[in-house]
Amino acid sequence: MPRRARSAQAGRCYHLCQRGQSGSPFCLDAQDRNDYIVAFMQAALGRGLWVHAWSVVDREAHWLVTPQRPDALSSVMQQVGRRYARSFNQRWRRSGSPWEGRYRSYWLDSGAYGISVAQWVESLPIRQGLCAKPADWLWSSAGVLRGLRPAPSPGAYRALESYWLLGNTPFEREAAYAELAERPIGPDLLEAMYLGLSQGRPVLSAATWSGLTDDERQAWNRRPRGRPRKAEMG
């Protein structure tokens, strides 16, 4: 099915994914991963995009973000494309874009599902056999949210509001977050995330869904013909 035109509203949380061209890596080593994260954070800081969680492996990257203005998300991705792609190609003597044609994203009800999706994002290196524990992977937010290392500079990082509600002190929040990570994500949420990444469908609680305008509900209630295009869930 054709993907819906992407739009991002200020104040809404989005899960976005960027993958390598034809399944190829766009980060070949630790320096590439560091450079990519710095490029993203710098662009986010300058364009009003809050970053809540992330995980970067060689062939894909996942981010949980909230734009503070409507053009923030697309502007950040354009800037990362220009800055990181140029340095990556120069370093490895390549040409062209290292990514598939477009990033994928969907609107996420962060109050209901933000922590679960953040922890799914942080478990990506484990699912790919790169480490044993989320915090062992240096190129994700897992260590930051568990209090094991500082957030990367520059300061585009902002913890989710639902993270702050986990406790009254940093220790309480970090311990509660680590405990929640031990709980498996339910199949309904995993399926909703699949549809989000493959079709751009929002992942919303019943309360948030009921608060949508009639036009928004009608748009998302439409069912396309045929089977949805399958998106890999790393």
pLDDT at 230 over 80: no
CA dist., res. 55 & res. 114, Å (int): 15
**pLDDT band for position 28 (50/70/90)?**
very high
| First-to-final CA distance of the chain | 21
**Residue range 144-172: mean pLDDT, rounded:** 93
| pLDDT tens readout for residues 53-109 | 999 999 999 999 999 999 999 999 999 999 999 999 999 999 999 998 789 999 999
pLDDT at 226 over 70: no
Which position has the higher pLDDT, 233 or 15? 15
pLDDT at residue 233, rounded to an integer: 63
CA dist., res. 59 & res. 188, Å (int): 26
pLDDT at residue 101, rounded to an integer: 78
pLDDT at residue 220, rounded to an integer: 80
Place of tokens 């899960």: 15
Token pair of 190 as six digits: 């995993």
Token pair of 3 as six digits: 């993907």
Q: Which amino acid is at 144?
A: V
CB-CB neighbours of 222 under 10 Å: 7
**pLDDT band for position 48 (50/70/90)?**
very high
Q: Mean pLDDT in the chain?
A: 90
184 backbone dihedrals φ, ψ, rounded to 5°: -70, 150
User: Which residue ranges form the domains of the chain, and what is each CATH number?
Assistant: 13-207 (3.30.70.1290)
Radius of gyration in angstroms for the set of CA atoms belonging to the chain, rounded to a whole number: 17
